[in-house]
Structure 1
Amino acid sequence: MLQALRNKIHGWPAAIVLGVSVFAVAFFGIESYFVSRVDTYVAKVGDHEISQQDWQSRLNDLRQQFSQDPNSPYKPADLETPAFKQRVLDGMINQALLQQANTDLKLTVSNLDVRQAIGSDPGFQVNGQFSPEAYRAILNMQGMTPAMYEAKIRASLATQLLPQAIAATTIVSDADVDAFFRLRLQKRDLRLVELPRPSLTDTNVSDADINAFYQSHLVDYTTPEQVSVDYLEVKQADLKATAPTDDQLREYYAQNKQRYAQPEQREASHILIEVPKNATPAQQKAALDKAKKIAAEATPENFAKLAADNSDDLGSKRSGGDLGWLEKGVANAAFDTALFGMKKGEITKEPVLSPDEGYHIIWLRDAREGDAKPFEQVRAQLAEDWSKNEGDRLYNERAGKLADLAERNPGSLEPVAKELGLSIQTSPLFGRQGGEGVTADPKFVQAAFADDVVNQGNNSSLVQIGKGDAIVMHLNKHNAAAPKALTDVKDAIRQRILDERVDAMAKKQADDIAAQLTKGGDVATIAKAPVRTLNALERDKLASMKDVAPDVLMKAFSLPHPVDGKPTWTVVRTGNGAYDLVAVDKVTEGDPSKVDKAERDGIRGQMMDAMANAATLDYIKALRAKTEVKIAQDRM
């Protein structure tokens, strides 16, 4: 075929084809013929990709946060639901949209903002002051460097720039606050009539009625699909690591010596003369002249007062510019270079300019040289760290073998159990909503009902139930969804038909009485039931009314005001075929003048927050409408 093509394409046609081919290779790159791109993002916002790793990290952070909060409204299983995962992803998409808007509007977070946010975090403070030692120790436990953490804080602050700007323009007037209190302190005079549940005169339900109801409500009388699975489980808690030998500890110490070292540190104070963003040459010169004047005056004796009087660093000026002990990499590069090039007791003669901040006058008060802690001093910590790492290694190795053997023997768990010395466990039957114990875990349920397991009869892939807990399963029993026999539900259907008849009679009775009352007449006579009067009932005290159904009270305070003294009667269903009649006889507006200033200011703040939040959401919605957002549901 190639020879035939060659014979047919020669001369100038061949030159054109060759030219197009060369152009394609040159334009697209020859590697595009050999390398294919595999997308791995969970969502793509414009050109920004939200990776699976970032998304999982956010979920893990929330999981840890909820587990540490005894008052959290969420349970661990909630985090595995598709709805919750989508909410988390939507939040990350909103953050990406705000960050893109920051770029478009040239809004940035300064190094000063980052430092102040870190310095004001109570988690890094000792006796109310920022502690570099606590900062470093906490970051080490989280496996983060100062640079990594600062980048995280900067990204977090960046997503607040626009919402804060929107909040700063939100105005709540005195009239808005007055309107709120007029409504909140409103009082209403109500009349309530609790209508008795009517009695059926016709209790005959034919077999034809039952059969018709059964056929039209078949989904209500269907036993859901259920499965039972055999499974093998590997738990890290069951894997006991042997005690480390002295040689192992020394080797571990040598490999991780930096974790047990005291880094080089400098105890410093500073005075910051801030340079405004997009400063003019005149503004820059004014800032530099002021910094030079202060540097010329500064001595160890007056430095704290000069900082308190002049520094633009709100986080340190109250403590005389004290920054505490700093390690390399905590401050920006220019500040770091100057600080670690100074001698103890020295004050910079020339101000140090750092980007996005301004001019620093630095006083090096003390210095510590870096040195490693001796092996014997950290031996106990070494043993603890080694054992934890060894436990992780053993678990990962064991779980990996479980996954590998299950994949190589897809038709049964028997060979896997024999190879690993594990016992096959069997779950009870459970549906897609889960059951109890391990079958309550959404990930377990999802794996059990996966097509590969329930239809193909294969072993599942490895399922991480929790940290240090992995499972592989195989179908034991599958019961397809099936309608219950009519004979088994016949009595329940008959009662349900009768209940619906009673409800229909009660609704008609209540509507007829309400229609009569709108024309006038005595309510007690027409309704043939006692009338309850509730005068001056306050809107903000409805929660304390325990003897009136909440639905009745909610409806009563949503009814229109009486016109010409004539109330409008309405019907409220209170459940189990019972209805109440409700009317509003009088409405008294609240008096805002009786509310003290502190409460007014508190409500104003809440209203501003609510309005700012609504405006921010509208802004994000507008950003999303003009930005291409792709979500990979199969990767969630």
Structure 2
Amino acid sequence: MKIVLGVIVLGFSFFGIESYFVANTNTNVAKVGGSAISEQEFTQRYNRTVQAEMQRMKQQFGANVNASMFQTPEFKHRVLDDLVNERVLLETNDKLGIVVPVERLRNEIQKIPAFQNEGAFDKDQYKQVLAANGMSPQSFEDDMRKDIGRTLLPAQIASTAIATDAEVDAYLRLRDQRRDFRYAKLDKPAAAQGEVKDDEIDAWYKQHQAEFMVPERVAVEYLELDASKLEIDQKPDDNVLKERYEKAKSRYVSAEQRLASHILVKVGGKGAPEDQKAALAKAEEIEKQLKSGKDFAALAKQESADLGSKNQGGDLGWLDRGTTEEAFETALFALGKGEVSQPVLTSEGYHVIELRDVRPGKTRSFDEVKPDLLKEYADSERERVYSDKAGRLTELTYQNPSTLETAAKELGLTVQKTDLFARTGGQGIAANPAVAKAAFSDGVLVQNNNSDPIDLSPNHIAVLRIAEHKPATPKPLDEVRDVVRTRIVAERTAKQAKDRADALYAQLGKDKTLDTLAASDNLKIEEQKGIGRDAATPDSRLVAAAFSMARPAQDKASYRLVDLGGDSYALVQLTAVADGDPSKLDAKTREAARNTLQQQMSMSVTREFVDALRKATKVSISESKLQDQSP
């Protein structure tokens, strides 16, 4: 037994305890054609979507938003559907040979405000922002290439949507339609009279007992490990920092940059030899004009086909190697300051390039970057200590599943405790949905074990266990008797109101009109004329009902019973419908309507196109892995 235990401990020391419990299983949430969507990819998108939705709702409603509303299967499927559709588009791009041009990628990146300094793209700031977010330029550019790539086909499909004059006229007739209607309100009746007997209260309470439950609640004790709060005593001497500086010296080297402008001449037609000759001839003529003294910026504004730089006189800003196509780069870095190139052919057409200035490469000295090195050293030490403690915390809480005290004592942590909270969460650490999910999991709540480490934020985890458990219990009837009585009276009142409304509505069109019904039941008839479909008065529900009704026939009136909420109703009679008159609208208004209609048609055809691609692609989804995700 000692030998066996020794072998197991030795294995733990080499591979960590986690390797004994992580099975080599498929971790994909979905498979789309020949590629997979991993749990990590889905979780990243899911968390970003949840954060964006929560931020939007906070701005709109100005209140705290419980993230548990985003844990529904429907919301998770919505996020996954977006990922699947994007993957289908990217696979279609590969099949069709569609790629994102280097110039398009460069232009899109340079437009991002986070990478700009005083309104212009700054390469150093670009690298620093990416590094701060744990990304390299290569990985970011790959992501950007995918983001742009999945819009290429939909954009082309959307551009095919055309609204004919007849369709615009039909749209305008409906959009500008006006309707006349009359209505009589049936106000909420007085509260239903009559005694509510005890046996009626008892029966109603038993039938609706689930509505009067004190929810199941737990209190947990937990250990929390946060890298940002760890104290790092070690202070390196200069030799240690210099060693790190030498190893990472390439990070502190700014490459040579060239300030360039260009004039682009695109190859017209179908790109036939004669089209290329015409484009080259035009580019050579532009080169000739420049070398004879013509102002480059003025000529670029006049002749360049690059919409992104044309209005800036062809200015491309400071360029590094590797940011343009090879032919363009070769020509640019062969020029001397102030020189203009001969026409250079790339995938976009012919370029005439001007080198305006050169910024030589420079290596920052050790003294210049020492503050950065000190911070990086402290961060790496803190991460190392955190990693060691987090690993040890995991081992100790697994080896001692019925207590947190052993781990707390060895790691110098304090066992903390929450107040009671339900499955929807509570205060403090319990406000985190992942904590509530773990607290009510089978392993923690039923088996009474310590939880797995819970990620609260980057380099911030907690391990918890149940300290107190209170099952769901119904509130005593005596405590809610008055509420039950009020609810019974409200139901009686609502039934009276609905029965009266149904009875009156049944008489319309048979033996009574709205006028005779109003006279016999003392109702007040009100009339609205020329109401548009977006009108908010007299009541948006009345307007919506009027526009959902069939046109009135000459021999038969059109009626509708409308629920106005709060146990009040309205009897509505549609009396006239007048379509909009497109002939009375000026050209500008018609064009705006055409644009709106084409946008709607574009969204429709694009959605249908993506749906068709998806139907032609084999998609399999792992429901169990999908529902395991939480924000």
Give TM-score, length-normalised by structure 1.
0.81
Who is 1:152 aligned against?
143
Aligned residue runs from structure 1 range 476-515, under 5 A: 476-486=467-477, 488-515=479-506
User: Any residues of structure 2 matched to 1:323-342 within 5 Å, and which?
Assistant: 323-342=316-335
How big is each residue's C-alpha offset from its partner over 1:213-270, in whole Å with a ceiling of 9 and x where there is no partner? 4454443344433222111122344324458545254444334333333222122233
| 1:399-451 Cα deviation digits (max 9, x unpaired) | 33333322222111111222222222222222222233332322111111111
Q: Is the 8 A contact 1:304 1:319 kept in 2?
A: yes
Distance across 2 between alignment mates of 1:378 and 1:536: 73
Aligned to 1:454: 445
| Residue number in structure 2 paired with 1:268 | 260
SS at match of 2:534: helix
- The range that moved more, 414-423 or 496-505, is 496-505
Residue-by-residue CA offset, 1:379-408 (whole Å, 9 max, x unaligned): 444444444444444444443333332222
Q: 2:432 aligns with which of 433, 436, 441?
A: 441
Counterpart secondary structure, 1:522: helix
Residue matched to 1:259: 251
Between the aligned partners of 1:314 and 1:190, the Cα distance in structure 2 is: 56
Q: Does 1:615 align with 2:608?
A: no
Q: Give, in angstroms, the shift of residue 144 of structure 1.
A: 4.1
Q: Please state how far the C-alpha of 1:94 moved relative to its aligned partner.
A: 0.6
Deviation at 1:549, TM superposition (A): 5.3
Whether 1:585 and 2:575 are equivalent positions in the alignment is: yes
Say if 1:603 and 1:391 are closer, same or farther in 2 by CA, change over 3 A. farther
Q: Which residue of 2 aligns with 1:47?
A: 34
User: Structure 1 residues 314, 115: closer, same or farther in 2, change over 3 A?
Assistant: farther
2:263 counterpart SS class: strand
In 2, the alpha carbon distance for the partners of 1:326 and 1:533 equals 69
Paired position in structure 1 for 2:619: 629
Question: Which amino acid in 2 is paired with 1:458?
Answer: N
> Which has the larger displacement, 588-597 or 416-425?
588-597
Is 1:466–2:484 an aligned residue pair?
A: no
Partner in structure 1 of residue 307 of structure 2: 314
CA gap 1:286/1:79 in 2 versus in 1, 3 angstroms = farther
* Match among 516, 519, 540 for residue 522 of structure 1: 516
Mean alpha-carbon deviation: is it higher for 41-50 or for 239-248? Answer: 239-248
Per the alignment, residue 544 of structure 2 pairs with 554
Q: What per-residue deviation string (whole Å, max 9, x for no partner) do you get for residues 139-172 of structure 1?
A: 4444444444333222122111221112111122
Paired residues of 1:513 and 1:527 also in contact (CA < 8 A): no
Superimposed CA distance per residue, residues 346-372 of structure 1 (whole angstroms, 9 cap, x where no aligned partner): 4445x4444x33443433333232221
User: Given residue 113 of structure 1, which amino acid in structure 2 is its aligned partner?
Assistant: R
Identical positions, percent: 37
- Alignment CA distance shift 1:109-1:276 (3 Å): farther
CA offset digits 1:589-624 (Å, max 9, x no partner): 445556565554444333322221122222222222
- Unpaired runs of at least 5, structure 1: 1-35
- Answering whether residue 50 of structure 2 is matched by residue 58 of structure 1, we say no
User: 1:84-95 to 2 correspondence within 5 Å?
Assistant: 84-95=75-86
Alignment partner, residue 190 of structure 1: 182
Amino acid corresponding to residue 516 of structure 2 in structure 1: D
Q: Is the 2:28–2:38 contact (alpha carbons within 8 Å) kept by the matching residues of 1? A: yes
Task: Give the unaligned 5+ runs of structure 2.
Answer: 1-22
For each residue in 1:48-96, what CA deviation from the matched residue of structure 2 results, as whole angstroms up to 9, or x when unmatched?
Answer: 1123333344345556767887747795836962444432222111111
Which runs of structure 2 are paired with 1:103-142 in the superposition (5 Å)? 103-125=94-116, 129-142=120-133
C-alpha change, 1:252 and 1:478, in structure 2 (3 Å) is same
Asked if the contact 2:224–2:462 (Cα under 8 Å) also holds between the matched residues in 1, the reply is yes
Tell me which amino acid in the other structure corresponds to 1:611.
Answer: M
Q: Aligned AA for 1:334?
A: A
Structure 1, 73-82 or 568-577: larger mean CA deviation? 73-82
2:595 paired with 1:605: yes
**For residue 14 of structure 1, what is the aligned residue in structure 2?**
none
Deviations 1:487-538 (A, max 9, x none): 5555544443333232222211112222334322534323324344444444
Structure 2 counterpart of 1:232, one-letter code:
L
SS of 2:258 mapped into structure 1 = strand
Contact kept, 8 Å, 2:558 with 2:573, in 1: the verdict is yes
For residues 380 and 61 of structure 1, do their structure 2 counterparts lie closer, same or farther at Cα, with a shift above 3 Å needed? farther
User: Residues 572 and 319 (structure 1 numbering): CA distance in 2 closer, same or farther, change over 3 Å?
Assistant: closer
Letter in 1 for 2:620: K
Match of 1:540 in 2: 534
Counterpart-to-counterpart distance in 1, 2:429 and 2:333: 56
1:572 aligns with 2:562: yes
Q: 1:203-214 to 2 correspondence within 5 Å?
A: 203-205=195-197, 207=199, 209-214=200-205
* Structure 2 residue identity aligned to 1:457: N
Deviation at 1:474, TM superposition (A): 0.3
**Is 2:228 the partner of 1:228?**
no
> In structure 2, how many angstroms separate the alpha carbons of the residues matched to 1:536 and 1:329?
64
Inter-partner Cα distance in structure 2 for 1:594 and 1:390: 75
Q: Residues 453, 590 of structure 1: CA spacing in aligned structure 2 closer, same or farther, 3 A cutoff?
A: same
- Cα distance in 1, alignment partners of residues 254 and 69 from structure 2: 40
CA contact (8 A) 2:401 2:449 kept: yes
Partners of 2:255 and 2:361 within 8 A in 1: yes
- Measure how far apart 1:476 and its partner are: 1.7
Read off the aligned partner of 1:473 and give its amino acid letter.
L
Structure 1 residue 45, shift from structure 2 partner: 0.4
Please give the secondary structure, in 1, of the residue aligned with 2:291. Answer: coil
Offset of residue 473 of structure 1: 0.7
Q: TM-score by structure 2 length?
A: 0.82
Q: Deviations over 1:96-133 (max 9, x none)?
A: 11122223333332223223333444554556554545
Q: How many residues align?
A: 594
Pairs within 5 Å for 1:399-418: 399-418=390-409
Alpha-carbon distance in structure 2 between the residues aligned to 1:168 and 1:467: 43
Q: 1:47: Cα distance to partner?
A: 0.4
